[in-house]
Structure 1
Amino acid sequence: MTAAAAGTVLLATRNAKKLAELRRIVGAQVTVLGLADVAEFPELPETGATFEDNAREKADQACRETGLVSLADDSGLAVDALNGMPGVLSARWSGRHGDDEANNALLLAQLADVPDERRGAAFVCAIALAVPGARTVLRRGEWRGRIVRRPAGAHGFGYDPLFVPAESDRTGDGRTSAELSPGEKDALSHRGRALAAVLPELRQVLGR
């Protein structure tokens, strides 16, 4: 039985929150594995110039190393006043990969003198779907909003406590991404939108 026939997909990440997010979106009929669930292999560094480059490289490597249908994403925050940065450097903006607190503190310091009307930003996510013997599929999702001056909220990860989605402003509640419930975030987020865009291809490959 092939991995596709078995309804199994590998998400090329060790981030438990990303795994939980994908599992919520694809549903119980699809088995989602992470890198901790397969034989270890040396992971390539993220050296791509774009989110798409990094997502494709990670998905292709995971598929090649394991033989499994593989998904990989690269995502980050693009701030208008910083000409689209941190961009692909979002996870290591402060110089330490995955240090959310340091990354958020540095971003706030860099935007300290930027007025509220110029604090626009977007979360961006590129997702790659790699299938053995087939062409890799790429999809992209964006989530517009703005950067607040102080973090708020305990949900999510990364820059979520600093990002107020446009939807929150339209409803007038001003909640950050970190103040949304997991279900609310899934329905709106950049990653949720990218996953929704690739889901038809994934379900077709898995026969679900």
Structure 2
Amino acid sequence: MMRIVLATGNAGKIREFSDMLGPLGFEFVPQSEFGIEPPEETGDTFEDNAILKARYASARSGLPAMADDSGLEVDALGGAPGVRSARYAGEGAGDLANIEKLLEAMTLVPDASRSARFRC
């Protein structure tokens, strides 16, 4: 079985990847098993951040690694919060603070213009 580090702290993602690809001979282990803390996400795109996280985990574990990055893109906000979705209200802010900031930013946006997408 080929071991692959999954550069995430999300136990649900470990289960999803294991369920999908485990039968094909892949074993996914969380980066925490190697004491790896996530790197600072400095990329300009989701792809940049995923590559950064995978390379970081691979270099520290000595194993192949996979990662993803995702976030919310709101058209009326020019694609924000985008790659900063998890940190939209500031470093260390939680989901509730991010949601509150997003709703505040959307206050004057008419319902007909409230389109968005979740991008991975």
Q: Scaled by the length of structure 1, what TM-score is found?
A: 0.52
2:30 maps to 34
- 1-side partners of 2:98 and 2:13: how far apart? 19
Aligned equivalent of 2:98: 103
Q: CA deviation at 1:47?
A: 1.0
The list of structure 1 runs, each at least 4 consecutive aligned residues, that deviate by more than 3 angstroms after superposition, is none
Of 75, 81, 104, which residue of structure 2 is paired with 1:80?
A: 75
Deviations 1:59-81 (A, max 9, x none): 11211221212101111111000
Distance 1:112 1:22 in 2: 38
Contact 2:71 2:82 in 1 (8 A): yes
- The structure in which a higher percent of residues are helix is 2
Structure 2 counterpart of 1:55, one-letter code? A
| Number of residue equivalences | 119
1:22 is aligned to 2:17: yes
Percent identity between matched residues is: 44
Give, in whole Å, the separation in 1 of the partners of 2:47 and 2:8. 16
Q: 1:98 to 1:22 in 2, by over 3 A?
A: farther
Distance 1:84 1:124 in 2: 10
- SS of equivalent residue, structure 2 residue 70: strand
Matched, 1:9 2:4: yes
1:85 and 1:67, CA in 2 relative to 1: closer, same or farther beyond 3 A? same
Amino acid at match of 1:112: T
Q: 2:45 corresponds to which residue?
A: 50
Higher-RCO chain (CA-CA 8 Å, sequence separation at least 6): 2
The structure-2 alpha-carbon separation of the partners of 1:113 and 1:27, relative to structure 1 and needing over 3 Å to count, comes to farther
- Show structure 2 runs of 5+ residues with no match: none
| Counterpart amino acid of residue 83 in structure 1 | G
Q: Give SS of 2:68's match.
A: strand
